[in-house]
Amino acid sequence: MESEYLKVEHNGLTFDVHRGGPARGPWVVLLHGFPVNSSCYDKVLPRVHDAGLRTVTIDQRGYSPGARPEAVGDYRLDMLTDDVLGVLGHLNIAYSMLVGHDWGGIVAWHLAAKHPDRFTGLVAASTGHPSAMAAALAAGGDQRTRSSYIKDFIADSAEETLTARDGVLLRRAGVTAEELAPLLEPGAITGPLNWYRANFTGDIAETLACPPVEVPTTMLWSDGDTALGREQAELSGRYVRSDFRFSELAGVDHWIPQHAPEALASEIALRSAMF
Question: In 3-state terms, the chain is what percent helix, strand and coil (to 5)?
Answer: 45, 25, 30
- The C-alpha angle with vertex 149 and arms to 179 and 82, in degrees rounded to 5, equals 65
In the residue annotation, 117 being an active-site residue is answered as no
Q: Mean pLDDT of all residues in the chain?
A: 96
Q: CA torsion sign, 228 to 213 to 99 to 34?
A: negative
In the residue annotation, 152 being an active-site residue is answered as no
Fold of 2-274: Rossmann fold (3.40.50)
Quick: pLDDT tens for 35-86.
999 999 999 999 999 999 999 999 999 999 999 999 999 999 999 999 999 9
Q: Which of 10, 49, 129, 254 is catalytic?
A: 254
How far lies 250's CA from each of 183, 187, 228, in Å?
30, 37, 14
pLDDT (mean) for 93-100: 97
Query: Any idea where the domains of the chain sit in the sequence?
Result: 2-274
In the residue annotation, 254 being an active-site residue is answered as yes
Q: Which of 102, 129, 239, 253 is catalytic?
A: 102
Q: What is the pTM of this model?
A: 0.97
Q: Which of 41, 63, 75, 196 is catalytic?
A: 196
Quick: pLDDT tens for 13-31.
999 999 999 988 999 999 9
